[in-house]
A = this chain, B = another copy of it.
Amino acid sequence: MTQRQFTLGALAAALGAALDGDSARVVTGLAPLETAGPDDVSFLTDPRYRDAARASRAAAVLAAADAEPLGPAMLRVKQPQIALVQLLLLFHPRPPASPGVHPTAIVAPDARVDPTAAVGALAVIERGAVLGPRVRIHPLAFVGPNVEVGEDTEIHPTVVLVDGVRIGRRVIVHPGAVIGSDGFGYVFDSGAHQKIPQVGTVVIEDDVEIGANTTIDRATLGATVIRRGTKIDNLVQIGHNVEVGEHAILVAQVGISGSSRLGRGVVLAGQVGVADHVAVGDGAMIGAQSGIHADIEPGAKVLGTPARPIMQAKRIFLSESQLPDFGRKLRELERRLDRLEGRGGEARRDG
């Protein structure tokens, strides 16, 4: 990698930032506040780190338009997080892929590979597959028969796209992910589980990202669908005939059982499990490790197994700490009542 360098003035222009500092000063790297040196630009995207920003050795700090003055020079922008993305791309531009098919890739004669697509070493492209413009298939990836991959999509090493799945545009599939494996369906007959053929497919819409070693099963009939803009982390399992709405977030190790439907903008935190045939409404947020066994209202925030509204779940959690005390208190109250009932009788006799 060749090192890139910019003047603060050039960075301010690229980011549309207001610069408080020397526009001629040169920076050669981008680093967090604590580790930045005098040749680096850094960033303050979370006001909680203000003290670290003040103490930083960075040449300049990217910050919000209304941030207090800091020691280093400042690049002020309206949306520091968005500007940070631009800054990351300025210092670490994506290496361009060289179009063309590596001589060791195995491409079926009737596969259609756009001349601008790149197919890496030892990748396998099966019969009838279609790779659109600027698609990038990394080494050792498998593109099954009749799979379609839309333009600008990147398929990382050892990914498996099974027969006939359809991948949209600008999709990223990280290493080891499997899209289109058989759904898990059997019918018990004659003393054994008989496999229900899984003859549907998977449709991944545009701008979806799929994490490493994640698995998405094909539908029994019809399609398992991941709608556009949804981001899926590593080691996630998505069962057959599931539909995930647009712009959803599925954090690592989430599992979604067959035929469930997640609405638009749903957020599932890590290790959440969703039972089969469940509907999770638009914008619902599910806390980490929760278990979803029934429909969830749009916009609901739930937690726990089975999941409850998050405030109720937290109250229950607090009460649980007192649970061993409750038993002790109940026994004490019983003793006091026993005494009182005896005493009450005496009072009567006394009376």
Which residues from chain A sit less than 8 Å from chain B, CB to CB? 1, 30-32, 35, 79, 81-82, 84-85, 88-89, 91-92, 94, 102, 104, 106, 120-122, 124, 126, 138-140, 142, 144, 146, 156-158, 160, 162, 172, 174-176, 178, 181-182, 184, 186-187, 189, 191-197, 199, 207, 209, 211-213, 215, 217, 220-222, 229, 231, 233-235, 237, 239, 247, 249, 251-253, 255, 257, 270-271, 273, 275, 288-289, 291, 293, 304-306, 308, 312, 315-324, 326-327, 329-330, 333-334, 336-337, 340-341, 343-344, 346-348, 350-351
B323 A333 Cβ-Cβ under 8 A: no
B346 A348 Cβ-Cβ under 8 A: yes
B316 A324 Cβ-Cβ under 8 A: yes
A337 B333 Cβ-Cβ under 8 A: yes
A85 B197 Cβ-Cβ under 8 A: yes
Residue among A94, A178, A318 with most chain B CB within 10 A: A178
A247 B211 Cβ-Cβ under 8 A: no
Chain B residue, CB-CB nearest to A198: B88
**With A212-B215, A234-B217: A289-B273 Cβ-Cβ less than 8 Å:** yes
Other-chain contact of A81, B187, B229, B235 (Cβ < 8 Å): B187
B156 A158 Cβ-Cβ under 8 A: no
Interchain residue pairs with CB less than 8 A apart (12): A85-B187, A88-B221, A122-B140, A124-B139, A174-B178, A211-B215, A213-B215, A235-B237, A253-B253, A273-B289, A326-B330, A340-B341
B222 A195 Cβ-Cβ under 8 A: no
**Assembled-state Cα–Cα distance A350/B351 (Å):** 6
**With A106-B121, A273-B288: A316-B305 Cβ-Cβ less than 8 Å:** no
- Residues in B whose Cβ lies below 8 Å from that of A124: 120-122, 139-140, 157
A199 B92 Cβ-Cβ under 8 A: yes
Chain B residue, CB-CB nearest to A83: B187
Other-chain contact of A122, B106, B182, B324 (Cβ < 8 Å): B106
**Assembled-state Cα–Cα distance A249/B329 (Å):** 41
- Residues in B whose Cβ lies below 8 Å from that of A209: 195
- Residues in B whose Cβ lies below 8 Å from that of A320: 316, 320, 323
Other-chain contact of A186, B35, B231, B308 (Cβ < 8 Å): B231
Other-chain contact of A347, B162, B184, B213, B344 (Cβ < 8 Å): B344
Chain B residue, CB-CB nearest to A332: B334
Other-chain contact of A160, B175, B197, B304 (Cβ < 8 Å): B175
| New A-B pairs, 15, CB < 8 Å, besides A31-B221, A156-B160, A193-B247 | A82-B189, A89-B197, A140-B140, A158-B160, A158-B178, A174-B181, A184-B252, A193-B249, A213-B235, A235-B237, A255-B270, A271-B291, A273-B289, A312-B321, A340-B341
Smallest Cβ distance from A108 to chain B, in angstroms? 9
Smallest Cβ distance from A330 to chain B, in angstroms? 5
**Assembled-state Cα–Cα distance A57/B330 (Å):** 58
B324 A319 Cβ-Cβ under 8 A: yes
